[in-house]
């Protein structure tokens, strides 16, 4: 069962509000139920992320950050399976009550840059010891690391806060996520659990379902709601169109029509929620896909440019220099060196 979209926040400035009042209506053929919009958007986003679980641990059986490829994880989640825990959120305490799930979808390497070489998870993420377990039982904190194709996910990462918390009450309302977390907790009680490859697939499911809660607005960033662009139905429609039609012309007129906003209102609203104009984000998506194709296929630069929406290699070259700080040729050479190494 997919959670329903949350009502988008108000607080738009007068210019955006004025744009909304004069916005063109969304064509009838584009009026899709919100639950289907959410499902479609999640499919489009998660297809690009290409999740791969790397490790799972708990405070009773920790994982060293620099061992076993754990430091290749660029996403983490932390689950207060029993008792209360405090995450160290860049010097601030972020409290997890029993049953809460914290999601760190990006910036993991930056967050872990200052830890010692022998630092262990989940302790390295916590402030002191977990506490307040019911009935005097020892508290349990589970931690999992996942890897994704950062090149393809680069635009997506901008849409989520660096740390989000799904409260236990929200998780309880999502049977699939609730059962997956309960099953993970029970499975880790077995001595052989960490060697079970099926368990790694469960971690990917949990992460994806937690992102779905973020899209639905059922998470918070620190002590506040996680006010992301994905919560706004109009901007979400625009993003979905970008992620599924970036290989086409994808003009501002088309994006505005899909969002049901005037061009000026879309630009203002998009920039406020995503942090950059629609045109810039579209270029970011195209460059991310082009880099993936250059690194993983033998397609010519001309073919890659056409697939990602550029009429010529020159246009793709300029976009690469602007977004990635390198040329398409350099991106392909770097990929070749990585494979050779």
Residue 218 CA to chain centroid, in angstroms? 15
The vertex-209 CA angle with 110 and 147, nearest 5°, equals: 35
- In this structure, the answer to whether residues 202 and 300 fall within a common structural domain is no
- In this structure, the answer to whether residues 190 and 250 fall within a common structural domain is no
Domain membership flag for residue 11: no
Q: Give long-range contacts, CB 8 A cutoff, 24+ apart: 40-46.
A: 40/240, 41/215, 41/230, 41/236, 41/239, 41/240, 41/243, 42/208, 42/211, 42/212, 42/215, 44/240, 44/243, 44/244, 45/156, 45/159, 45/211, 45/243, 46/208, 46/211
* pLDDT given for residue 215 in this prediction: 72
- In this structure, the answer to whether residues 195 and 74 fall within a common structural domain is yes
How many whole angstroms separate alpha carbon 249 and alpha carbon 234? 20
pLDDT tens per residue, the chain (341 residues)? 333 323 222 333 333 223 333 334 433 334 444 555 666 777 777 766 678 899 999 998 999 999 988 999 989 999 999 999 999 887 888 999 999 999 998 889 888 888 887 899 999 999 876 655 555 678 899 999 998 876 666 666 667 888 889 999 999 999 999 999 999 999 888 877 666 778 888 999 999 889 888 777 777 776 555 556 777 889 888 988 998 899 998 999 999 999 999 999 999 999 988 888 999 999 999 998 898 899 889 999 999 999 999 999 999 999 999 988 899 999 888 766 555 55
Domain termination site, one of 203, 225, 247: 225
- In this structure, the answer to whether residues 188 and 255 fall within a common structural domain is no
* pLDDT given for residue 12 in this prediction: 32
Q: How many domains does the chain divide into?
A: 2
User: How does 253-276 read in b/e, with b if 16+ C-beta sit within 10 Å?
Assistant: eebbbbbbbbbbbbbbbbeebbee
- In this structure, the answer to whether residues 87 and 217 fall within a common structural domain is yes
How many whole angstroms separate alpha carbon 280 and alpha carbon 255? 13
Domain termination site, one of 225, 257, 292: 225
Task: Give the residue numbers spanning the domain of 123.
Answer: 48-225
Question: What is the domain-level CATH number for residue 307?
Answer: 1.10.10.60
Domain termination site, one of 225, 251, 278: 225
CA-to-CA separations, 237 to 70, 163, 225, 323, in angstroms, rounded? 36, 24, 21, 24
- In this structure, the answer to whether residues 151 and 276 fall within a common structural domain is no
Domain membership flag for residue 43: no
Domain membership flag for residue 126: yes
State which H helix or E strand residue 93 sits in. Answer: strand 92-96
Q: Collapsing DSSP states into helix, strand and coil, what is residue 42?
A: helix
């Amino acid at each position: 069962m997919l959670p329903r979209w949350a009502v988008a926040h108000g607080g738009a400035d007068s210019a955006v509000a004025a744009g909304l009042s004069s916005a063109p209506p969304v064509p009838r053929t584009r009026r899709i139920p919100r639950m289907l919009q959410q499902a479609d958007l999640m499919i489009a986003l998660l297809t690009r992320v290409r999740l791969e679980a790397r490790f799972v641990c708990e405070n009773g059986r920790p994982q060293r950050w620099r061992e076993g490829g754990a430091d290749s994880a660029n996403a983490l989640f932390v689950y207060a399976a029993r008792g209360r825990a405090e995450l160290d959120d860049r010097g601030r305490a972020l409290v997890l009550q029993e049953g809460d799930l914290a999601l760190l979808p990006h910036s993991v390497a930056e967050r872990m840059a200052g830890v010692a070489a022998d630092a262990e998870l989940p302790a390295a993420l916590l402030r002191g010891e977990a506490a307040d377990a019911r009935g005097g039982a020892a508290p349990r904190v589970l931690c999992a690391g996942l890897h994704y194709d950062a090149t393809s996910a680069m635009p997506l990462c901008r849409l989520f806060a660096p740390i989000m918390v799904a409260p236990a009450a929200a998780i309880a309302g999502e049977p699939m996520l609730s059962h997956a977390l309960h099953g993970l907790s029970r499975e880790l009680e077995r001595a052989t659990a960490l060697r079970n490859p099926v368990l790694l697939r469960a971690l990917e499911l949990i992460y994806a379902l937690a992102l779905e809660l973020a899209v639905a607005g059922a998470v918070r960033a620190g002590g506040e709601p996680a006010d992301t662009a994905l919560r706004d139905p109009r901007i979400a429609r625009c993003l979905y169109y970008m992620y599924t039609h970036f290989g086409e012309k994808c003009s501002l007129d088309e994006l505005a029509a899909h969002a049901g906003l005037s061009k000026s209102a879309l630009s203002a609203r998009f920039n406020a929620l995503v942090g950059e104009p629609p045109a810039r984000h579209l270029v970011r998506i195209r460059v991310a896909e082009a880099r993936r194709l250059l690194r993983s296929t033998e397609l010519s630069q001309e073919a890659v440019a056409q697939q990602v929406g550029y009429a010529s290699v020159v246009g793709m070259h300029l976009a690469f220099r602007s977004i990635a700080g390198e040329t398409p040729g350099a991106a392909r050479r770097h990929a070749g060196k990585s494979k050779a190494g």
